[in-house]
Structure 1
């Protein structure tokens, strides 16, 4: 299982600073959607230039014009981009087509899909995405009673390659690995830590131990 850090900051200097601190311990550097909107697609190029040995994930959350938006991100240096799992099938197919031209990969983000999520995960997997991100957003996580267990259960049930985003931290990453995820996405557990590098190192340690 790979470890992905969500660089959920709002400007490129902060993103580069965070990436520099944690890159030793992670496999994938994710430019969060607010960062891409704030700093522009050039931020993808800058992060990839600074860390050419890491996979760079552009979290576009594309809902339309899948081929066009994915092509922009891949052209800027992204190795992976997201398309919304709730998007039209042709939007997903378009993003996948762009990925095929660039030799890069597309991830379907399932944020906002709750009812019928397992069925939709299987559907988008058949459209050619590399894997499906079973994702609870910040707003969902803030609700009383939220648990990562629902994400893990849906991942197990779907039977396709998946990642988990939403509540991945030191005391849950073992369960993410045991559920069979190909990627664990950590955001606040790293960037909100007093020492982000130490937090990333601890997560990485728990993946391999």
Structure 2
């Protein structure tokens, strides 16, 4: 069963908690976006975990160095997952995995900016990460001709556990599920909707169908 992850790219804890309250019944993983964590610090992680202890909290650190240290900061603040950039040195990812293993938590490698996402996904999976996020960032999505189908095709050929982030919505989530992705990440399709709860429920219903 493909899990549903909501990416909360808001800028303050109050708004993030309010959105999470609306969509929590329909999502498995609550992601705290990089801008949110940079704005509010690790305290937003603890606030979210305290409010929703039955949900997995995903800290989108996008760590580029000191993997063990930064992963430890996220986990000790209540995160279940933390992201490390796939473009970094292998030692950074391995350090984060060490911190995760010591706490029974998980590292997710984010392939934003990686040219060969499939090859890198195969490489880093050998280090013990939970899954690899095939991720097209907002800037890449804004380019002419971008389609989430690129990520869907990559997921089919990766051969390792992956999530898909970058254009997941009600029109594409069925194909994301059929690609074999273990997690579908929806951001703007939920938080940008007029009714975020209804949007999250619609995505959940499609995954459950």
TM-score range, shorter chain: over 0.9
Structure 1 stretches of 5 or more lacking a match? none
Mapped to 1, the partners of 2:207 and 2:130 lie a distance apart of 21
Structure 2 stretches of 5 or more lacking a match? none
**Given the two structures, how large is their TM-score scaled by the length of structure 2?**
0.99
In structure 1, the residue matched to 2:24 is: 23
> What's the secondary structure of 1:34's corresponding residue?
helix
**Given the two structures, how large is their TM-score scaled by the length of structure 1?**
0.99
Q: CA deviation at 1:157?
A: 1.0
Q: CA deviation at 1:87?
A: 0.8
CA shift digits 1:143-199 (9 cap, x unpaired): 111101111111111100000000000010000000000000000000000000000
Mapped to 2, the partners of 1:15 and 1:65 lie a distance apart of 27
Mapped to 2, the partners of 1:184 and 1:112 lie a distance apart of 19
In structure 2, the residue matched to 1:135 is: 135
Mapped to 2, the partners of 1:103 and 1:128 lie a distance apart of 12
The CA RMSD over aligned residues, in Å, is 0.5
Matched, 1:187 2:187: yes
1:123-162 alignment runs, 5 A limit: 123-162=123-162
Q: CA deviation at 1:49?
A: 0.2
Mapped to 1, the partners of 2:190 and 2:55 lie a distance apart of 17
Q: CA deviation at 1:117?
A: 2.1
The number of equivalent residue pairs is 208
1:1-209 alignment runs, 5 A limit: 1-114=2-115, 116-209=116-209
Q: CA deviation at 1:69?
A: 0.1
